Structure 1
Amino acid sequence: MEHVKHSIKPIGSRVFIGKLAGTRVFDPVGDNIGRVTDVITVLRFTGLPTVVGLVVEVATHRRVFVPVTRIVAIAPGQVITTGLVNIRQFRQRVAETMVMGELMDRVLSMRDGSGEVKIQDMCMEQDDRRDWYITKLYVQRITSALALSRGETLLVDPSEVTHLRKSVLPQEATTLLTQLEDAKAADVADVLADLPEERRIEVAAQLGDERLADVLEELGQEDRVSILTSLDVARAADVLDVMQPDDATDLVNELPEKQAQILLAEMEPEEAEDVRRLMAYGERTAGGLMTTTPVILPPDADVATLLAHVRRQDIPPALAA
């Protein structure tokens, strides 16, 4: 089905979504509500993609949805809202697509047959009814399908490309991971949990082993099992090797017995032995809660120093008992 162009009469300047990410959100009196983490759009079979709202991370690190109807203005460095924000956790609906999480870095084909391009950014504009639409895609040509080398950049209409609604090629997550580079593992886990399963697996696979291990420790059981089992055996074993032994044990215990044994055989012998030792204890026993990683202090360390070390966030909670 051919795309039909929608008539847009801009009432303000274009807003590039890549630059909007991280922008502070304020209420009408200037109080800081949070920061933008994503833009939610509905991709239609005809017409321009409709922007329906923003995902905003509020002070409690909760990610909430702010409808476009509550956005008063978007200016450089700030988004002004009506101040009425629903604090319920954001949950993506079936028809919705996350621009940063799902569309950035997507590879598309030009309808004129001139080759493939990769989305670098998108811009949205308002029409005279104050509705927001994605009107332009900032893309870069891929000059080599094998090496994904880059060519010239273009600003094109959504109607000039195919596969915007559905990715047909493996998709990078460069833009999203750059945005999350300095984020805590728990915050990255929250972002992944909000993504559709297919994209969640795709993004997780592009994290480094240690980063992915930290994120898996923060995810719920179903999500982390789904991600780990999507990896090839060697990569999954490498990730388990760098996890805290107690967390690796919990994750291995959540796998089918045959799959768990395959991974244990692929892990480094010393790391696998730690996991096997902890697996021998019941989940709710002291042994099941402990870790094999010791806290080592000098002989002259006092009790206050010990307590300070076991309270550090990078030491497993089981050691603080």
Structure 2
Amino acid sequence: MTGTPSRVFVARLAGIAVFDPAGDQIGRARDVVVALRPPPRPPRVLGLVVEVPPHRLVFLPITRVTNIDAGAVIFDGRINMRRFEKRDSETLALGEMLDRTVELKEDGENAIVLDLGMEQTRTRDWLIVKVAVRRVGHSAGRAHGARLSLRRRRGETFVVDWDAVSGLGMVEEKQGAANLIAAFEQMRAPDLANVVHELSAKRRVEVAAALDDRRLADVLEELPEDDQVEILGELDVDRAADVLEEMGPDDAADLLGELPAEQREQLLALMQPEEAAPVRRLLTYADNSAGGMMTTEPVIVSPDATVAEALALIRNSDLNPALAAQVYVCRPPTATPTGRYLGTVHFQRLLREPPPTLVSAICDTELDPLRPSRSLEAVASYLATYNLVSVPIVDEGGHLLGTVTVDDVLDHLLPDDWRESVMDAPADEADEEEEALRGAAGDGERTVSRP
């Protein structure tokens, strides 16, 4: 592989772009597939897990990779779009080996795996030959008076040869996930959700435990319902309530709607009253109604707010584009349910007006809002007819209850399992070279020449 460094640490591959020979990006690397072999032989690298649009994971044999550098992986242009499925003989370097506890043979102390270094041999095979670790203390199986290295201290990080540690081939009961999460720190929530979805149930729970409440909430919102329920059920009830508070009220209501009534009420009771109240209101509406789809946290301003103040609100990076596209003008209170709804101002209109202008002077009052009982079809027709990305929902007294955004409508128009359908696309025909490479994973002798 011309230009490829002699050693590559796998955590640095997470999320880097994968290009064909013409320079077109086909996806991003998500993991490295290895085959563990009996000691002292190091694991053999079989290939990369690559995510191609839309959120489909495929296998790229290492024999087809022609170059790896700090910012890109280049392959020979041939890739099978069959959905990746990990086999029993295979291990995911990032998903399963990072954060594992190993024993340092030198002094019997425990260490946490931070990263793995792979190198290409003269036979053009790639092997895992180095392990980056952080020392954490004595192994339970080593005598308290065991000899310690004078050069290394608890908490120190360093790199050792593969055969200098033991325990990487064992399943750990309570494996952490801090370094796995660090490898994907810059990944967007939908992409991280795809990674989490592909992990084993054990690793999904461990990753959820290691994520902070806000990040976990963002990931849960993007996962299939079965994964959401599974992860939430494994959390301590107090933490589950905290995570629900971080979710959008509409997403929290959708998730709670999948739980048994007793569990749902327990979690609602543990949530802060001001966080639980909008969720309880949303749970009273039919799922495919405007009320059941709406979010209760649109951008709302009072009539005396200025254009400058409205623009400052929609600059909030936590707002998704659909919510930031329109500002709703209501009489106080400006938290839902608000005072009387007066009209809407699109952000493009805000950009065209002088900053001191009052929003009440430029809001659109001609389009009638919808009631929460309106059907999914009615909401979709409204958005399509007026070329909008969100629609206000009001009660009989004209108080704004929330808004339905176009992404909420799409969520309900698509099949119930659309997230799983995208993540689990059907398989293509088997690739002969891939089958030969992965079929030889455990023998440590046979190799497949690069085409």
Q: If the TM-score is normalised by the length of the shorter chain, which range does it land in? A: 0.7 to 0.9
Bigger CA drift: 220-229 or 120-129? 120-129
Q: Where does residue 6 of structure 1 map in the other structure?
A: none
Q: In structure 1, how many angstroms separate the alpha carbons of the residues matched to 2:93 and 2:58?
A: 16
Q: In structure 1, how many angstroms separate the alpha carbons of the residues matched to 2:295 and 2:172?
A: 43
Match of 2:200 among 196, 210, 219: 196
1:287 deviates by: 2.5
The secondary structure found in structure 2 opposite 1:183 is coil
Do 2:17 and 2:27's aligned partners in 1 also have CA atoms closer than 8 Å? yes
The secondary structure found in structure 1 opposite 2:77 is coil
Q: In structure 1, how many angstroms separate the alpha carbons of the residues matched to 2:79 and 2:129?
A: 27
Deviation readout 1:206-247 (Å, 9 max, x if unpaired): 212122111111100111111111110100001111211121
**One-letter amino acid of the structure 2 residue matched with residue 57 of structure 1:** E
Do 1:14 and 1:123's aligned partners in 2 also have CA atoms closer than 8 Å? yes
1:56 deviates by: 2.1
1:43 deviates by: 1.9
Bigger CA drift: 296-305 or 255-264? 296-305
Q: In structure 1, how many angstroms separate the alpha carbons of the residues matched to 2:38 and 2:403?
A: 50
Match of 2:404 among 313, 318, 321: 318
Q: In structure 1, how many angstroms separate the alpha carbons of the residues matched to 2:243 and 2:29?
A: 31
1:308 deviates by: 8.8
Q: Where does residue 287 of structure 1 map in the other structure?
A: 291
1:18 deviates by: 2.6
The secondary structure found in structure 1 opposite 2:48 is strand
Q: In structure 2, how many angstroms separate the alpha carbons of the residues matched to 1:68 and 1:113?
A: 35
Q: In structure 2, how many angstroms separate the alpha carbons of the residues matched to 1:21 and 1:291?
A: 34
Bigger CA drift: 110-119 or 245-254? 110-119
Q: Where does residue 362 of structure 2 map in the other structure?
A: none
Q: Where does residue 12 of structure 2 map in the other structure?
A: 19
Deviation readout 1:25-68 (Å, 9 max, x if unpaired): 33234433333222111223443212111122346554322011
Q: In structure 2, how many angstroms separate the alpha carbons of the residues matched to 1:184 and 1:21?
A: 13
Q: In structure 1, how many angstroms separate the alpha carbons of the residues matched to 2:189 and 2:178?
A: 17
Bigger CA drift: 302-311 or 120-129? 302-311
Q: In structure 1, how many angstroms separate the alpha carbons of the residues matched to 2:346 and 2:243?
A: 31
Structure 1 length-normalised TM: 0.83
Bigger CA drift: 94-103 or 297-306? 297-306
Do 2:214 and 2:246's aligned partners in 1 also have CA atoms closer than 8 Å? yes
Do 1:12 and 1:126's aligned partners in 2 also have CA atoms closer than 8 Å? no
**One-letter amino acid of the structure 1 residue matched with residue 175 of structure 2:** Q
**One-letter amino acid of the structure 2 residue matched with residue 38 of structure 1:** D
Q: In structure 1, how many angstroms separate the alpha carbons of the residues matched to 2:287 and 2:24?
A: 46
**One-letter amino acid of the structure 2 residue matched with residue 110 of structure 1:** L
Structure 2 length-normalised TM: 0.60
Bigger CA drift: 132-141 or 29-38? 29-38
Q: Where does residue 146 of structure 2 map in the other structure?
A: none
Do 1:139 and 1:156's aligned partners in 2 also have CA atoms closer than 8 Å? no
Q: Where does residue 305 of structure 1 map in the other structure?
A: 346
**One-letter amino acid of the structure 1 residue matched with residue 226 of structure 2:** E
The secondary structure found in structure 2 opposite 1:150 is coil
Do 2:296 and 2:403's aligned partners in 1 also have CA atoms closer than 8 Å? no
Matches within 5 A, 1:17-56: 17-46=10-39, 47-56=41-50
1:151 deviates by: 2.5
**One-letter amino acid of the structure 1 residue matched with residue 193 of structure 2:** A
Q: Where does residue 93 of structure 1 map in the other structure?
A: 87
Q: In structure 2, how many angstroms separate the alpha carbons of the residues matched to 1:85 and 1:120?
A: 30
Query: Structure 1's 50 and 209: CA in aligned 2 closer, same or farther, altered over 3 A?
Result: same
Query: Structure 1's 191 and 152: CA in aligned 2 closer, same or farther, altered over 3 A?
Result: closer
Q: Where does residue 51 of structure 2 map in the other structure?
A: 57
Do 2:287 and 2:293's aligned partners in 1 also have CA atoms closer than 8 Å? yes
* Root-mean-square deviation over aligned CA pairs: 3.1
Do 1:143 and 1:151's aligned partners in 2 also have CA atoms closer than 8 Å? no
Match of 1:274 among 239, 261, 278: 278
Matches within 5 A, 1:125-274: 125-143=119-137, 150-151=155-156, 153-157=158-162, 159-168=163-172, 170-274=174-278
**One-letter amino acid of the structure 2 residue matched with residue 305 of structure 1:** H
Q: In structure 2, how many angstroms separate the alpha carbons of the residues matched to 1:272 and 1:246?
A: 11
Q: In structure 2, how many angstroms separate the alpha carbons of the residues matched to 1:294 and 1:13?
A: 52
Q: Where does residue 434 of structure 2 map in the other structure?
A: none
Query: Structure 1's 260 and 94: CA in aligned 2 closer, same or farther, altered over 3 A?
Result: farther
Bigger CA drift: 45-54 or 228-237? 45-54
1:186 deviates by: 0.8
Do 1:53 and 1:66's aligned partners in 2 also have CA atoms closer than 8 Å? yes
Q: In structure 2, how many angstroms separate the alpha carbons of the residues matched to 1:317 and 1:217?
A: 18
The secondary structure found in structure 2 opposite 1:291 is coil
Q: In structure 2, how many angstroms separate the alpha carbons of the residues matched to 1:266 and 1:308?
A: 42
The secondary structure found in structure 2 opposite 1:318 is strand
Do 1:34 and 1:56's aligned partners in 2 also have CA atoms closer than 8 Å? yes
Percent identity between the two aligned chains: 45
Q: Which runs of 5+ in 1 are unaligned?
A: 1-10
**One-letter amino acid of the structure 2 residue matched with residue 119 of structure 1:** V
Q: Where does residue 449 of structure 2 map in the other structure?
A: none
Q: In structure 1, how many angstroms separate the alpha carbons of the residues matched to 2:53 and 2:349?
A: 26
Q: Where does residue 69 of structure 1 map in the other structure?
A: 63
1:257 deviates by: 2.3
Do 2:130 and 2:159's aligned partners in 1 also have CA atoms closer than 8 Å? no
Deviation readout 1:135-158 (Å, 9 max, x if unpaired): 22122221378xx9513524122x
Larger Rg: 2
Q: Where does residue 7 of structure 1 map in the other structure?
A: none
Do 1:92 and 1:194's aligned partners in 2 also have CA atoms closer than 8 Å? no
Do 2:290 and 2:404's aligned partners in 1 also have CA atoms closer than 8 Å? no
